[in-house]
A and B are shown apart, each in its own frame.
Chain A
């Protein structure tokens, strides 16, 4: 299109009523022609005044959240690094380290490589210490608890429980235990505070043979006193431990 042909169409283009092929041709021309572009900008400005002059409608309140939700999803950005997100990340990382520690440790125990076990424990303890320091840097984030899970008298098996409790986000429970082969479950984990027993979920057996639970709980677990593993078929207590603040 020539400049006169384009200029003849610019008002309709600004008002959005040009046919699509014509609009595309006009826009191609505008990319290369500063003179027509200037006039187009002025006409577009006039058209936008019409839009801005409309009596304002009442906007539904959730609209902004919908936009931000789609923006986050499509931009590939997760939520911005808010405190809540950091809490969840810290909790997840904490659980991941415990997972690595526990699974490896128990696998070595089974193989009776005790020297290696001591080295591994030292190494994993170091990792956990590092992570605990990271968690401690989120001082307002919440509290971390742990419990060594032991069997009742004459029982066998042992394990670890970790709880990460933070306000305004779901608490996290992580349990990893090793039980004698004859123990087939199913097993459930209960977190008991001063008032009630909260069912945290069911343990699942890994390929290494240990039993894991990694779950978020909508309940507030910050006042937990004990963590108990029960055989849900028989109701028998399999392991239990007292909850203590995590020692960094």
Chain B
């Protein structure tokens, strides 16, 4: 089965793509890279701070995805979630290993986009949706998540820096993630609904 390189994949298609990856099908690697290569590289660049490190990370992520593919279960989560978790974990591991800390070098909170808009390119539907979902968070929530996700601060470190109780930080992190996930899902539903209305006679 050939996979389109753009547009959303159904969960069944995601599972099938990963099964082909398990089987060592090079086309599956190509399809996966076409969809997520840029996102993985971007995460690498933001966390590791250099194109060479980001390239190396991207290579490692796709090879890790192939090795771990048998463990992917579409019923448990989306392919993008799974792959981005691999990418982020590997980037953080690398930072810990190389620098002894989880502080990313480059990103600043200001870089987290808060301006949203529509884009006609099918291949970045998911990104636009994510950006719109991010805009549903308050500035404080975005900053909190960014401190952890992009700067690698632990809940304890955030609590100490902000002078708020550890339990409160953990609760806020959890709440913000749930809210972000819900906003993204809602964006996806809205997108589908709008699409259906558009094609309706």
Contacts and interface: CB of A to CB of B under 8 A. Distances in A.
Given A41-B76, A66-B59, A50 B134 contact: yes
A48 B134 CA distance: 11
B75 to A, nearest CB: 9
A4 B81 CA distance: 24
B41 A57 contact: yes
B113 A53 contact: yes
Contact of B88 (A16, A68, A75): A16
Nearest to B67: A74
Interface in B34-50: 37-39, 41-43, 45-46
SS of A interface (majority): helix
Interface string B161-201: 00000000010011011111101100000000000000000
Interface residues of A, number: 43
Contact of B127 (A8, A37, A56): A56
A230 B83 CA distance: 60
Given A10-B174, A67-B59, A52 B26 contact: no
Interface string A36-60: 0100011111111111111111011
A43 B85 contact: no
B178 A53 contact: no
SS of B interface (majority): helix
A60 B62 contact: no
B138 interface: no
Given A15-B173, A47-B177, A50-B149, A57 B42 contact: yes
A237 to B, nearest CB: 48
B133 A49 contact: yes
A66 to B, nearest CB: 6
Contact of A53 (B24, B77, B87, B127): B127
Interface in A1-29: 8, 10-12, 14-20
A194 interface: no
A195 interface: no
Interface in B3-32: 24, 26, 29-30
A43 B63 contact: no
A75 to B, nearest CB: 5
A9 to B, nearest CB: 8
Nearest to B155: A12
A75 B178 contact: no
Nearest to A7: B174
B148 interface: yes
A138 interface: no
Contacts of A50: 112, 130, 134, 145-146, 149-150, 180
A77 interface: yes
B134 A49 contact: yes
A72 B62 CA distance: 12
Given A16-B92, A37-B76, A49-B134, A42 B178 contact: yes
For the complex of A and B, the 7 pairs showing the least CB-CB separation, nearest first, are A46-B177, A46-B181, A53-B130, A52-B130, A48-B84, A11-B173, A11-B174
